[in-house]
Chains A and B, each alone.
Chain A
Amino acid sequence: MDAYIFDHVRTPRGKGRPDGALHEVTSVQLVTQLLEAVRDRNSLDTALLDDVIIGTAQPVGEQGGVLARAAVLNAGYAESVAGQQVHRFCASGLDAVNLIAAQVHAGVMQAGIGGGVESMSRTVMGYDSGAWTSDPDVAFHNHYAPQGIGADMIATLDGFTREDVDGFAAESQRRAAQSWAEGRFKGAIVPVKDVIGEVLLDHDEHMRPGTTVESLGKLKAAFEGLGKGGFENVAKARYPEIEELSYVHHGGNSSGIVDGSGVVMIGSKEFGERAGMKPRARVVSYASMGSEPTIMLTAPADVTKKALKNAGMEVGDIDLFELNEAFASVVLRYMKHLNIPHDKVNVCGGAIAMGHPLGATGAMITGIVLDELERTGKSTGLITLCAANGLGTATIIERV
C-alpha cells in the first residue's frame, strides 16, 4: 500500500537559550500546538489516525515518558490515537516519519503523524547520556569521540579548509534569509503562542543574515580543547593517516542550538478519501544504517545510496536534497562523495542558519523539501541526516 504525505507543519525555531523566545514553552506544548494546527486547518477527525510518533534526541525529563501520548491527549485528539517515542539521536524526527510510512506501506495502519521535538533550552544536550559516551569501558574501546571532533576529522581527511567550511556556512545563511524573505516557509510555520494565547515567535530566531566568510573568520575553533584533552589520540587511533587534526568548526559553521518541533501527516489513499484530504507526495523509500562511529557523521552518503537502491533510483533521479547541516563538513563531504552540485542541496538554507532542534529536524526538512518541490515544480526529494554514534537515516519522496 502506498504511503502519502498529506500535510506538515512546524514551529519557528527559537534560540535554544534562556533568552530564546520559546524557552518558556514546554516541549509537550510545542507538539500540542502543532497537533492542534494540523487538525484544525484540515478539519480532521482525529479518530481516523492510528498513531502519533514523536522523536526526541533527549527523551528524558519533560521530553521523556512518551511525550507523543501526552501531546495527543493534550491536543484533544481522540483517545484511540496511540503515541510512541522514538530515539535515533538527530535522525529521530525522520525515523518517526519513516515508521508511520512503513506501517502504512505494510497495511497495518491507515494514517498517523510522525515528527519530532526538541527544546534544547530546557532539556539541555547531554541530559540523555548513555553508555556510548560515558561508560568508560564502552566509550574507550569503541573509540568514542565527540561529534565536533568527528566534524573536524572529516574536514581533515577530505581537505576542507576553514575557508571552505565558513564559505558553506555563509551560503546557508544567505539562502535561509532569502527563503524567509520570499515567504517560502509560510505554508508550514505555525507561530508558537504562550499561556495567554499571545504569539511568542513567528520566525526562525537563530539566523544571522549578512554573515560572511570574513565575519565567521573571527570565531575561534571550538573543539581544539576536547581534541587536546585526548580525543585527538582517539581520532588518530582510528585514522592513523591523520598527521594533525585540523580544527575548523565553530558555532558559526555548525548547526544552531534551538527549540522547535515539526510534524508530518502520512496515510493511505483511503485515509485521504475518508478525511477529505489530497495527498501531496508519496513516500518512495527509506533506509537507516550504521557507519564508522568515531568519525560518526559520514553515514548520509551511504544511507542515501541505500535508500536510492531500495527505490531503484540513482543520485541523478533526485531533484532536491536536504541533508541536515550538523556541521559544514558533513554536507561538503556528502556533495563531494556523491558528486551532487550545491544548487541541489539545502536550497533554502539549513541548520547552520536556522538551527537544528535535534529530534525535530528530520520532520522539518521533510516539510521544507516538499514545499520547495511544489514551489519550483520539481518532483523528487531526498531527506537525510547523520546521527550520533555513526547512524544515518534517509527518506525519498515524490510529488503526486
Chain B
Amino acid sequence: MRHMKIETAADGFATLTLDNADESMNLVSDAFIAEMMEATAQIAADDGIKGVILTSGKPTFMAGADLKLLVQGYDTMTLKSAFAFSQKASAMHRAIETSGKAWVAVMNGLALGGGFELALACHYRVLVDDPKAVVGLPEVNVGLLPGSGGTQRLIRIAGMKIGTELLLSGRAVKGAEALALGIVDAVVPVAEMDAAARAWLATGPDPVKPWDVKGYALPEQRGLIIPEYSAGMMITSGSVAKSGYNLPAPIAILSCIYEGAILPFDKALAVESKYFAKLLTSPVSRNIIRTTFLSKGAAERGAGRPAGIPKAEFKKIGVLGAGMMGAGIALVSAQVGVDVVLIDRDVESATKGKAYSETVLGKQIARGSMAQDKADAILTRITPTDDFALLEGCDLIIEAVFEDINIKAETTRKAEAIIPATTVYASNTSTLPISTLAEASARPDQFIGLHFFSPVDRMGLVEIIKGAKTSPATLAVALDFVAKLRKTPIVVNDSRGFYTSRVFQTLIHEGGAMLEEGVPPAVIENAAKAVGMPVGPLALLDELTFDLPLKIVEQAIEQEGSKYIVPAGVSAMKKMKAQGRSGRKTGGGFYDYPAEGGKKLWSGLSDIFPVSADYDVAELKQRFLYAQAIETARCREENVIETSEDGDLGAVYGWGFPAWTGGTLSYIDTIGVAKFVTECDRLAQKFGPRFAPSAWLRERAATGTGFY
C-alpha cells in the first residue's frame, strides 16, 4: 500500500495512517479507495486487531475528493458510471462500519468532504483542538453532494434539522460547535488524541452502527405523515429558491435527505449515489469546480507568471492617491506586512485615506475578529503624506489618482524622480489605456496596470494589464505582489476597458436596450437576477452613475469615430440624464431612494419608456448571458485575454458573472460553440450587430473548437 500503513500495538489496537504518497494532502481517489478496501478487509480478517485508529500522516486529516478527478465527470462519465463511481466510495465506507471492529477517526487536522464522510463512517470521532481543524461537507459549494454516505450518515447522527442545515450550507464547523452538534465525539489537544481514542476503544464498544440494529428508524421514516416534518420540508424547499434555479445541487441534497430518511440504509445510499450521478454528470459541477477551484488555484500559484525570474520582495510600497481605491490598496498591503506611503495632494486628504483602514479594522475589532495590537501594527505601517520624497526606496508604486491622463502623467513623472530606477510603476486605472499612460514614464517597460476592484479589501480579483512595452519581469513583479496580497490575478492586454470593464459594460447596456424596447423594468432586473447576476443592470447603473459609462462611450467615439458601434443602452441613459436622474449619487436614477425603506423603481420610468407586452423572459435571460459571453469571445480573439481560464476567472470574480456557468467562456462551451453561434446570429438579426459572431468564432464553431 502506497498511501497508508497499518501498525498494530500490543494493546491490540491497530493504527491506520493515511499518507498520500503523491500529494501534500490525503485525497479520495481510485487508488485510495482500492487501498482502503484492502486495508479494511485485512483488519476485519485479523482476529488480533480489537479496534482501529484511523489518522493521517499529513498536517490535515483529509481534504476530500480529488477535484481534478471530479471535474472530468461531465465529459467522461455516464449516469450509470457516475453512479457506480459513487457506490464504490460508499461501499468503502460501508465496509469500515460493518467490519466488526470499532473504528475511531483521529482527525489531527481539517476533515472536509470525503474526509469527513470517512470520519462519519467510523464509530467514534476525535478532533484535534485547533481552530484550523474544521469539519464539514462543503460539496454543495462545488455543485455536488456528499456522495459516499455523507447525506445519510449526517442526518442519522446529527438529526434531520442540523444535518439539513449543514448539508445545504456546506459550512465548515469548528471543534466546539462540532462537539455541541454531536458530529464529533471528543475535541482534545493534539498530544491527547491517541490516548482519547485508545481510552474509548478500551471500553469495548459495540461496533454496530445504530442504523444497522434491527428496528432502527429515524423519526422521519414515516415521511410526510408527520405534519411538522412535512411543513419543514415545504419551508426548506422554498428556502432553496433563494439560491436561484440554476444550481442543481441544493435541491438534490434535499431530495436525498427526504427520500433517504424513509429508506433502509443501503437503499438510502443507493439513492444518494443516483442523485450524485446526476450532479457529477451535469455541466454545472464541472464549471464550478474548474473555474472556482482549479483555475483559481492555478492562477494564484502563478500560472500566468513568466518563468525564470526571481521572486520579488515587498517591504515598502507607495500608493499615490488616497481616494477610495488608494485607501483600500493601502489597507490590504499593510495587512500583509508591507509598509505603505500613502500620498495625496495634502496631508489632510492622505490622512482621510488612512482613516478608511481605521474604520474597517475598527469594525473587525468590534466583531471580535481582530486584536487591537494587531490592528495597531497594521495602521502603523501606513504613512499618510503629501511628500513624494518619502517614496525613496519603494519596491512598488501603485498610482490611484483621478482618471485623467494629464494628472496621471504628472504624478508618474513626480514619482519616478524619486523612486529607484528598478521599481515597477503600476496604475490602478480602470479606463485609460496603459500604453498611453506609459508614455509619461521614463521606463515604460516597468509600467503596468493593476486594476483592483471596489471595495479592495473584499474583492478578490486583480486585473493585471500589460501595456505594449511592459516587460515580462514587470509582469512577474505585479503577479508576485498580487500573490502577496493573497488575491486572484488575471493577466490581460491593453484594450479599451481592458477586459472586465469592457465586458461588464455589455450587461448594463443590454439592460438599457431592453428598457428602450418596452420591457418592464422589474422584468429586466428579475431576468438578470434569475440567471444569477447578483444585481440587476438598472440597479448597477444607478450605483455607477451614468456619467462613467457615457464618458467611456464619448471617448470611444472620439477615438474611433463612425467605426465605433454605440452601445445599445446609451440612448436610455441619455434620456434619464435629461430628466436629471443620473444615478443614486445624483439623488436617483432608474430607482428612487427613499430615506425610509428600500429603493423602488422610479414611477416615471413608464412615461419615458412605454411598456410593451411583447417580450419573452427566456430570451431576456439569454441576452444577458450571451451579450457578455460574445464580448468575452471577442476579447479572446483580440488577445485581450490570453487564456480561457483568465476570461472565466475575470467574469466570475470581477463582475459577478454566475459561477454555475463557470464564466463567460465556459458558458459558451457548455452550450456548444456551434449552437452559440447559431443563436447569436438569430439575436443579431433581431437586436443588432452586438450579437454578431466574428469569422474567428464561426471558424471555431465549424471545427468544433471549444475554449477548453
Q: Does A219 contact B (CB under 8 A)?
A: no
Task: Write 27 A-B pairs (CB below 8 A) sorted by A numbering.
Answer: A126-B230, A129-B224, A129-B225, A129-B227, A133-B230, A133-B234, A134-B231, A134-B234, A134-B237, A134-B258, A135-B224, A135-B255, A136-B251, A139-B233, A139-B237, A144-B237, A144-B238, A230-B241, A233-B241, A236-B530, A237-B530, A240-B522, A241-B520, A243-B521, A243-B522, A244-B598, A244-B600
B597's nearest neighbour on chain A, judged by CB, is: A244
B617's partner among A126, A233, A240, A244 (CB-CB below 8 A) is A240
Q: Would B525 and A243 count as touching, CB distance under 8 A? A: yes
Q: Does A229 contact B (CB under 8 A)?
A: yes
Cα A128 to Cα B239 in complex, Å, equals 21
A134's partner among B224, B522, B601 (CB-CB below 8 A) is B224
Residues in A with CB closer than 8 Å to B238 are: 139, 144-146, 226, 229-231, 234
Residues in A with CB closer than 8 Å to B689 are: none
Cα A234 to Cα B245 in complex, Å, equals 9
A236's nearest neighbour on chain B, judged by CB, is: B526
Residues in A with CB closer than 8 Å to B224 are: 129-130, 134-135
Q: Would A129 and B239 count as touching, CB distance under 8 A? A: no
Cα A144 to Cα B598 in complex, Å, equals 26
A135's nearest neighbour on chain B, judged by CB, is: B258
Cα A236 to Cα B244 in complex, Å, equals 10
Residues in A with CB closer than 8 Å to B258 are: 134-136
Q: Would B255 and A233 count as touching, CB distance under 8 A? A: no
Cα A307 to Cα B108 in complex, Å, equals 71
Over the window 228-254 of chain B, the binary record of Cβ atoms lying under 8 Å from chain A Cβ atoms (1 yes, 0 no) is 001101111111111011000001001
Q: Does B324 contact A (CB under 8 A)?
A: no
B621's nearest neighbour on chain A, judged by CB, is: A240
Q: Would A136 and B530 count as touching, CB distance under 8 A? A: no
Q: How far is the CB of A133 from chain B (nearest CB, A)?
A: 4
Cα A107 to Cα B58 in complex, Å, equals 82
| A-B CB proximity, top 5 nearest | A129-B230, A240-B526, A243-B522, A129-B224, A136-B254
Q: How far is the CB of B224 from chain A (nearest CB, A)?
A: 4
Interface residues of A in 19-75 (CB under 8 A from B): 60
Q: A residues within 8 Å of B by Cβ?
A: 60, 124, 126-127, 129-130, 133-137, 139-141, 143-146, 226, 229-231, 233-234, 236-237, 240-244
Residues in A with CB closer than 8 Å to B160 are: none
Q: How far is the CB of A150 from chain B (nearest CB, A)?
A: 13
Q: Does B641 contact A (CB under 8 A)?
A: no
Q: Would A229 and B239 count as touching, CB distance under 8 A? A: yes
Q: How far is the CB of B144 from chain A (nearest CB, A)?
A: 17
Cα A137 to Cα B526 in complex, Å, equals 23
Q: Would B255 and A136 count as touching, CB distance under 8 A? A: yes
Over the window 524-537 of chain B, the binary record of Cβ atoms lying under 8 Å from chain A Cβ atoms (1 yes, 0 no) is 01110110000000
Q: How far is the CB of B220 from chain A (nearest CB, A)?
A: 11
Q: How far is the CB of A100 from chain B (nearest CB, A)?
A: 31
Q: How far is the CB of A58 from chain B (nearest CB, A)?
A: 10
Residues in A with CB closer than 8 Å to B234 are: 133-134, 139, 144, 146
Q: Does B523 contact A (CB under 8 A)?
A: yes
Q: Would B522 and A127 count as touching, CB distance under 8 A? A: no
Cα A240 to Cα B601 in complex, Å, equals 14
Cα A203 to Cα B254 in complex, Å, equals 46
Residues in B with CB closer than 8 Å to A129 are: 224-225, 227, 230
Q: How far is the CB of B273 from chain A (nearest CB, A)?
A: 16
- Size of B's binding interface in residues, CB under 8 A: 35
Interface residues of B in 212-227 (CB under 8 A from A): 224-225, 227
Q: How far is the CB of A142 from chain B (nearest CB, A)?
A: 10
Residues in A with CB closer than 8 Å to B525 are: 243
Q: How far is the CB of A312 from chain B (nearest CB, A)?
A: 32
Cα A234 to Cα B257 in complex, Å, equals 21
Q: Would B600 and A243 count as touching, CB distance under 8 A? A: yes
Q: Would A231 and B527 count as touching, CB distance under 8 A? A: no
B528's nearest neighbour on chain A, judged by CB, is: A240
A233/B242 contact (C-beta < 8 A), A124-B227, A137-B251 known: yes
Cα A233 to Cα B250 in complex, Å, equals 15
A140's partner among B251, B257, B529, B598 (CB-CB below 8 A) is B251
Cα A21 to Cα B257 in complex, Å, equals 41
Cα A141 to Cα B527 in complex, Å, equals 18
Interface centre among B238, B254, B258, B520 (most CB of A within 10 A): B238
Q: How far is the CB of A229 from chain B (nearest CB, A)?
A: 6
A237/B241 contact (C-beta < 8 A), A124-B227, A136-B254 known: yes
Q: Would A240 and B233 count as touching, CB distance under 8 A? A: no
Cα A236 to Cα B617 in complex, Å, equals 12
Residues in B with CB closer than 8 Å to A230 are: 235, 238-242
Q: Would A240 and B240 count as touching, CB distance under 8 A? A: no
Residues in B with CB closer than 8 Å to A143 are: 241
B251's nearest neighbour on chain A, judged by CB, is: A140
Cα A135 to Cα B530 in complex, Å, equals 23
Q: How far is the CB of A151 from chain B (nearest CB, A)?
A: 16
B239's nearest neighbour on chain A, judged by CB, is: A230
Q: Would B241 and A140 count as touching, CB distance under 8 A? A: yes
Residues in B with CB closer than 8 Å to A130 are: 224
Residues in A with CB closer than 8 Å to B522 are: 240-243
Q: Would A229 and B235 count as touching, CB distance under 8 A? A: yes
Cα A270 to Cα B526 in complex, Å, equals 61
Residues in A with CB closer than 8 Å to B255 are: 135-137
Q: Would B244 and A233 count as touching, CB distance under 8 A? A: yes
A237/B239 contact (C-beta < 8 A), A129-B225, A133-B234, A137-B255 known: no
Interface residues of B in 254-306 (CB under 8 A from A): 254-255, 257-258
Cα A135 to Cα B240 in complex, Å, equals 13
Residues in B with CB closer than 8 Å to A140 are: 237, 240-241, 251, 254
Cα A145 to Cα B600 in complex, Å, equals 24
Residues in B with CB closer than 8 Å to A236 are: 526, 529-530
Residues in B with CB closer than 8 Å to A144 are: 234, 237-238
Cα A139 to Cα B251 in complex, Å, equals 10
Interface centre among A135, A145, A240 (most CB of B within 10 A): A240
Q: How far is the CB of B234 from chain A (nearest CB, A)?
A: 4
Interface centre among A136, A141, A236 (most CB of B within 10 A): A136
Cα A60 to Cα B225 in complex, Å, equals 9
Cα A130 to Cα B225 in complex, Å, equals 9
Interface residues of B in 641-690 (CB under 8 A from A): none
Cα A124 to Cα B244 in complex, Å, equals 32
Residues in B with CB closer than 8 Å to A141 are: 251
Residues in A with CB closer than 8 Å to B236 are: 136
Q: How far is the CB of A107 from chain B (nearest CB, A)?
A: 40
Interface centre among B236, B241, B527, B530 (most CB of A within 10 A): B241
Residues in B with CB closer than 8 Å to A233 are: 241-242, 244
Interface residues of B in 70-116 (CB under 8 A from A): none
Q: Would B244 and A127 count as touching, CB distance under 8 A? A: no
Cα A237 to Cα B238 in complex, Å, equals 12
Q: How far is the CB of A140 from chain B (nearest CB, A)?
A: 5
Residues in A with CB closer than 8 Å to B617 are: 240
Instruction: Beyond the given A126-B231, A243-B526, A244-B598, please list 15 additional residue pairs across the A-B interface where CB-CB is below 8 A.
Output: A126-B227, A133-B230, A134-B233, A134-B258, A135-B233, A139-B234, A140-B241, A140-B251, A144-B238, A230-B242, A233-B242, A237-B245, A237-B530, A240-B530, A243-B600
Residues in A with CB closer than 8 Å to B242 are: 230, 233
